[in-house]
Chain A
Amino acid sequence: MALALKRKSDSSVPEVPNWHPNLRIVESLPDTKVVRTAFFVNGGFGVLALIALGYFLVQEWKLHEVNSQIADLEHQIDQGTHQSNDAVRLYKDFKVEAAKTDEVADFVSSRPLLSNIILRLGEITPKNIALDSLDFKENGLSIRATIKGAADKATLQIAPAFERLLRADPKFGAKFSEVNLVTIVKNNAGRMKIDILCTYRKEKK
């Protein structure tokens, strides 16, 4: 063996044949492999086929599930469509009817009930103030009144107190955004006449 590994320095020297002939007949030799290569090859392809089959079956199962859900929903839809259409039709009618009542409600609530304001004003007006006229306009109310008593007391105490009273009253003042004493003059009889302007509160829509 050591001789065979030696490098031939001279190419002209003829090659030395093997020192003994190979007499083995390969075909007749016993198979000594524990597991054949074909097993792994077949196994690999088999696993691949099984993975593909598994994937396909999972997809088909999902599709089947989705389709059965669709069938259930379609059954529900078929059963409920008639009732739903009736409800929609009825609701349209309901809206038409509701629009009528809304129209009336909007009309009635677009202005305050003036009788309530007059009654409340009568309740809270002090005895030393006599109401001369109430003039309700689109924007608000103008109150004209005469104050009994001395001019200085009427000017400095009674008129401002009445203005504050109107502004602070929970029933009367709530209807007006502004309550202002705009005029205070002495009349021919020596009494103080006042004019209070109340501006309606604008409804927030």
Chain B
Amino acid sequence: MTTEDLVAFVKKNLISVACAVFTILIAALCYYRSDLLPEAQKVLDERSAKAALIAANIEDSAQLREQHARLVAANKLIADRMIHIGQLAENTGYFYRLESETGVHISDPKQSSWNPPGKGAPKTNYTWVGFSVSATGDYNQVLDFLRKLESGEHFCRVNSLLLRPVSEMRGGPMNINVSLELMAAME
């Protein structure tokens, strides 16, 4: 087939040839752009997830600022109630203050030695220090002393306690031996 024949064929079947060429071009274009839609879909999914996350963050944080402020204020109050390990006089003075408030007679409150947590220990904001204290008084005084220890100024955990009468006589003074821990600020 010569060029002239080809030209003649094209001229004779102009519409068919044009349509065929157009179809081939469109097919090529479709093929060339076929990756765009899946890629765009992937980007859409990613952006949707990110937008949803951002929307959730914003929605969930509606009252976060106020709650955070309250928590910070509460933690400030908590921090004020911590003892300080190095302040031995003030720490033992706390028990004597309870003595004067409750009327019990305290004998020799002792602060246990404290060792800082090891290197592998989980990081904490506070620690605790052990104390042992013995007090004598009537039942109400002793119980008042214990209540003030447990729910007093400093955060306290009573590990062991022995409550018994001082003498065989019923209704007489009671003796209480307490081993406890007070929460302390990390020095």
Contact = CB atoms under 8 A, between A and B. Distances in A.
Contacts of B67: 94
Interface string B155-167: 1111111111100
Interface in B47-84: 47-48, 50-51, 53-55, 57-58, 60-61, 64-65, 67-68, 71-72, 74-75, 78
B19 interface: yes
Contacts of A133: 162-165
B37 A62 contact: yes
A62 B158 CA distance: 70
A115 B144 CA distance: 8
Given A73-B44, A115-B150, A107 B162 contact: no
Nearest to B147: A115
Interface string A98-126: 11110110011011011100110000000
Contacts of A62: 37
Contact of B22 (A49, A83, A100, A136): A49
| Interface range for B | 35 or more
Contact of A77 (B44, B54, B74, B163): B54
B128 A107 contact: yes
B158 A136 contact: yes
B185 to A, nearest CB: 11
Interface residues of A, number: 59
B121 interface: no
Contacts of A46: 15, 19
- Main secondary structure on A side of the interface with B: helix
A103 B13 contact: no
A161 interface: no
Contact of B72 (A86, A97, A111, A118): A97
B125 interface: yes
A41 B41 CA distance: 39
Contact of B146 (A104, A110, A114): A114
Nearest to B126: A103
A90 interface: yes
Contacts of A119: 143
Given A66-B44, A73-B51, A113-B151, 9 more contacts: A48-B20, A52-B22, A52-B23, A56-B29, A99-B125, A104-B78, A110-B157, A118-B143, A119-B143
Q: Which 3 A-B pairs have the closest CB atoms?
A: A87-B61, A45-B19, A133-B164
